[in-house]
């Protein structure tokens, strides 16, 4: 069953793959978010469960988190461990880490504790960002 006509899907593919506008081609993901939030602030960026964020809201959220990370000493080139379930918070945290110039080390909270500790030992992240529901893994 097609939800879009063949002509409509071809138009969509061509529009999304149009690279004649080179304005955003050299931007990193967090820079692209800033650009889109300035031009389409009220458009929906994320929908997760019962939470919806616009590009403007997502950018403000990520900026607030980035400032908090910098206040905790995160700098360009640092590694930040991120052990969060899939959520709006996860997306905002990843963008915040990128905004600081650091890199994130994704840690799946569903991994066994031994694997998580091995990843932490290998990566030696400056900070670990996790949720309360996952914190018990690190306290054991």
CATH code (residue 118):
3.40.50.980
Is 14 inside any structural domain? Answer: no
3-state secondary structure of 93: helix
3-state secondary structure of 111: coil
Is 4 inside any structural domain? Answer: no
Is 21 inside any structural domain? Answer: no
Is 59 inside any structural domain? Answer: yes
Domain interval for residue 120: 26-139
**CB within 8 A of 43, min separation 6: which ones?**
36, 54, 55
Average pLDDT over residues 54-79: 96
Residues of the chain with pLDDT > 90: what percent? 55
pLDDT in tens, 30-61: 777 788 778 888 988 888 889 999 989 999 99
Number of structural domains found in the chain: 1
- Range with the lowest mean pLDDT among 3-7, 39-43, 111-115? 3-7
């Amino acid at each position: 069953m097609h939800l879009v006509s063949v002509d409509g899907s071809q138009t969509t593919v061509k529009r999304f793959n149009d690279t004649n506008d080179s304005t955003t081609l050299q931007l990193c993901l967090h820079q692209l978010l800033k650009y889109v939030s300035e031009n389409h602030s009220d458009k929906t960026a994320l929908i997760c469960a019962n939470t919806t964020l616009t590009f403007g809201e997502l950018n403000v959220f990520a900026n607030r988190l980035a400032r908090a990370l910098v206040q905790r000493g995160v700098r360009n080139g640092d590694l930040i461990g991120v052990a969060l379930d899939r959520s709006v918070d996860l997306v905002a945290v990843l963008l915040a880490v990128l905004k600081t110039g650091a890199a994130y080390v994704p840690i799946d909270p569903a991994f066994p504790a031994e694997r998580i500790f091995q990843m932490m030992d290998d990566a030696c992240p400056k900070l670990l960002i996790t949720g309360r529901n996952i914190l018990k893994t690190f306290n054991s």
